[in-house]
Amino acid sequence: MVWPFKTKKRKQIARIEITGAIAAETRKRVLKALETVKTQKFPGLLLRIDSPGGTVGDSQEIYAALQRLREQENVKVVASFGNISASGGVYIGVGADHIVANPGTITGSIGVILRGNNLERLLDKVGVSFKTVKSGPYKDILAFDRETTPAEIGILQELIDTSYSQFVQTVAEGRNLEVETVKTFADGRIFTGQQALELGVVDRLGTEEDARRWLIEMLELDPEKTKCQTIEEKKPLLSRLVSGRIQTKKSQIGAALDWVEFELATNGQPLWLYRP
């Protein structure tokens, strides 16, 4: 039998994690989780961010969904920055009502980067060349078998500058700062949570638990009694059992391969990403 009434979570808060590089899969998962926050009527959301950033469009869509949740559903949102919350992680974070960071959190990296690969000399050595037929002079911009021309560099720089302006404007609006003030530290530099507090990028220094308690106090609930429900995709039982064992054995090589996959998938795209 299907229960005819929707379950409401007015005495609980929701928790969503954003970890690793932000790309299409992150966006899909987070948007689905935000929809759950909306439909189940959670009054507050604790957003845990531990990410170096990622793709521009995916970061913008998550930010926009957070804004809708706050404005249309009156959900209070507190972001908690973990080990690292940089670039696209910052962009998403400023979509919250408040931000809490650890003193040593690595954050900042407000800016845009776009990289392409030039394999021209390698291809010459192995005797491989490409014949290209195109509809316009810039259709194969950032092609890996030749140098980028000065005209193409100009086009790409204009694209980067536009994306950068969008980033700076959003940070300024989200943190109630002047655009020119944001530009003084939005040059790609990273800084600690302590420095971010001084710059106005975060509101408080503290742990995720501090962020949780602040959110609950904002909602006038009891921090000792209010449950915090992490919203994540449910996996089949067998998958959960197997993945638990695999996770304990996941090597640095596996993590490196994940990063290489992200690099290949986003090659030639403008990114809001901190690259150590």
The CA angle 15-61-181, to the nearest 5 degrees, is 90
Q: How many CB atoms lie within 10 A of CB 197?
A: 18
Greater model confidence, 6 or 35:
35
In this structure, are residues 34 and 66 in contact, taking their beta carbons and an 8 Å threshold?
yes
Q: Which residues of 245-273 are buried (b: 16+ CB within 10 A; e: fewer)?
A: eeeeeeeeeeeeeeeeebeeebeebbbbb
Tell me whether residue 31 is exposed, middle or buried, using C-beta atoms within 10 angstroms of its C-beta: 0 to 12, 13 to 18, 19 or more: middle
Residues carrying an active site annotation: 87, 139
**pLDDT of 69 over the 70 cut:** yes
Facing residues of 190 across strands?
108
Residue 262 has pLDDT above 50, yes or no: yes
Mean per-residue pLDDT, 111-122: 80
Asked whether the predicted pLDDT for residue 241 surpasses 50, the reply is no
Mean pLDDT of 180-184: 98
Place of tokens 């913008």: 60
Is a pLDDT exceeding 80 seen at residue 117?
A: no
Contact assessment for residue 52 and residue 87, using Cβ atoms and an 8 Å cutoff = yes
pLDDT given at position 2: 44
Residue carrying the six token digits 């995916």: 58
Q: What is the pLDDT of residue 116?
A: 74
CATH for 12-273, among 3.90.226.10, 2.60.40.10, 3.20.20.10, 3.20.20.60?
3.90.226.10
Q: Mind giving me the DSSP string for 183-220?
A: HTT-SS-EEEHHHHHHHTS-SEE--HHHHHHHHHHHTT
pLDDT: which is higher, 276 or 29: 29
More confident residue, 120 or 153: 153
Residues contacting 109, CB < 8 A, separation 6+: 52, 53, 86, 87, 90, 188, 189, 190, 273, 274
Reported as a single tens digit per residue, the pLDDT across 1-24 is 444 444 556 789 999 999 999 999
Average pLDDT, the chain: 87
Residue 276, pLDDT score: 67
Residue-wise pLDDT for 185-224, tens only, equals: 999 999 999 999 999 999 999 999 999 999 999 999 999 9
Which residue did the predictor score with more confidence, 261 or 206?
206
Q: How much is the pLDDT for 193?
A: 98
User: Per-residue pLDDT averaged across 55-81, rounded?
Assistant: 97
* Averaged pLDDT, 71-77: 97
Q: In terms of Cα–Cα distance, which of 31, 16, 18, 14 is closest to 91?
A: 18
pLDDT surpassing 90 at residue 77: yes
